[in-house]
Amino acid sequence: MGFVKNILKKLKKFYSFEDKLISELKHDHQKLFSLFNKIEKNIQKRNYEKIPEILKKFHYEYRLHIIYEDNYFYTYMKRKYKNDDKILEFINQKQEEMKSITKAIADFINRFDSIKEIQTEKFKNELQKLGKALKSRVEFEEKELYTLYS
């Protein structure tokens, strides 16, 4: 299924509460971590030729997740908390942080677009940093941010 069809499939209604939203977002997180783990396993096995395709899939799934999260979660949260300046500021700050992470991921994918570059220590080091940042962000979302959704 194409990218646009996947987006349209997920973006049924804006602004309203969706019972399954948080479980779907958490499921997306698991898909992303699964792909991330595949990249790490292929590095360990020195199967560098498989990594570009996994990176491409990771980036695709990540973009789907972000579009879904922005259009459902953040849109709903901004509407829900429109009269609470403190929470609204917090939500806006977290969304801006996510934009920075999204840019870092896109930059990473664009920088390491060849097998030669993927075989470097720089790739491994930056992949580890990216993994730590993502893990930290996902833990925060699932344990704290998503609890505001109801």
Q: What pLDDT is recorded for position 14? A: 52
Mean pLDDT of 72-94: 94
Please provide the size of the chain in residues: 150
Given pLDDT bands bounded at 50, 70 and 90, which one contains residue 8?
Answer: low
Contact 108, 130 (CB under 8 A): yes
Mean pLDDT of 8-17: 58
* pLDDT beyond 90 at 21: yes
- Please tell me the distance from the alpha carbon of residue 10 to that of residue 84, in angstroms, as a whole number: 28
pLDDT in tens, 101-149: 999 999 999 999 899 999 999 999 999 999 999 999 999 999 999 999 9
pLDDT in tens, 53-75: 999 999 999 999 999 999 899 99
Q: What pLDDT is recorded for position 96? A: 95
Mean pLDDT of 76-96: 95
Q: What is the mean pLDDT of the chain?
A: 91
Q: What is the pTM of this model?
A: 0.85
- Please tell me the distance from the alpha carbon of residue 42 to that of residue 62, in angstroms, as a whole number: 20
Quick one: which of 77, 99, 71 has its CA closest to 7? 71
Domains of the chain, by residue range, sit at: 18-148
Contact 112, 123 (CB under 8 A): yes
Given pLDDT bands bounded at 50, 70 and 90, which one contains residue 1?
Answer: low
